[in-house]
Structure 1
Amino acid sequence: MKNNLMITAILIIIIGAGSFFAGMKYQQSKRPSIQDFQAMRGERQGLGNNQRPAGLAMVRGEIISQDEKSITVKLPDESSKIVLISENTKINKASEGSLADLKTGEQVMINGQTNSDGSVSATNVQVGVNFGLDRERSNNQ
């Protein structure tokens, strides 16, 4: 009788431990990985790895010319980009800015939509901050 009780207790412990281990393994197989979350985020936004949503652009550099509706920005790689400015474009400095703050030679960072001709329609322009461009230029020379 003592033997039967001992065997039953050992079997209960083994079955309990086995069930616990199997439950842990099952839970691990159901836990989403970081790659799963990144894949879901990319699918939801229409993105691949480390890409911006289609049509969104970020431009940074020095204003080299301007008119009432656009500015041309010299990029760190010495190329240039035309950026279209509208009345809906927000222009920021350390405080709210205006179109008058966009001056030739000024450092800018621009967010907007890429147009079919390669220009960018600005939604936001940050004015007057270097954004590390001097460091980037010295590294490229």
Structure 2
Amino acid sequence: MTVRRQPVATKAQKQRWANAKARGCVACHLNGIDHGLARASYGNDLEMHHLLSGGRRIGHDATICLCHFHHQAKRLPYADHGYEEQAKALGPSLERESRRFHEFYGTDQQLLAYQEVMLMSLPPQFGPEATW
């Protein structure tokens, strides 16, 4: 069986990921936690989630930024209670409760559209890392 690998992300796609991480977790943002910085997301550990179609990644442009909790239900470092209590406070995790996550936050297409809105609200970048 041949494993079909996704092409390596382009420089522009990697920059999009960096910009998404600068805005923080989409789910945290939808929960009303937005201070304009990644540290507003719970755990401050951010990951890019590739959206799927038929169980396969759509591509590097179809990604949303999620914190460790909302992406993979990783326990928050300062939490002294389990997943259920964290989910009551923060909403469901995609890995742990995929159906409930999508009922709570929206479809993949809605989440991707919201991610794009978050990216458009970024302040201009300056310095050697600027992409304009």
Higher helix share: 2
More relative contact order, 1 or 2 (CA 8 Å, 6+ apart) = 2
The TM-score with structure 1 as length reference comes to: 0.22
The TM-score with structure 2 as length reference comes to: 0.23
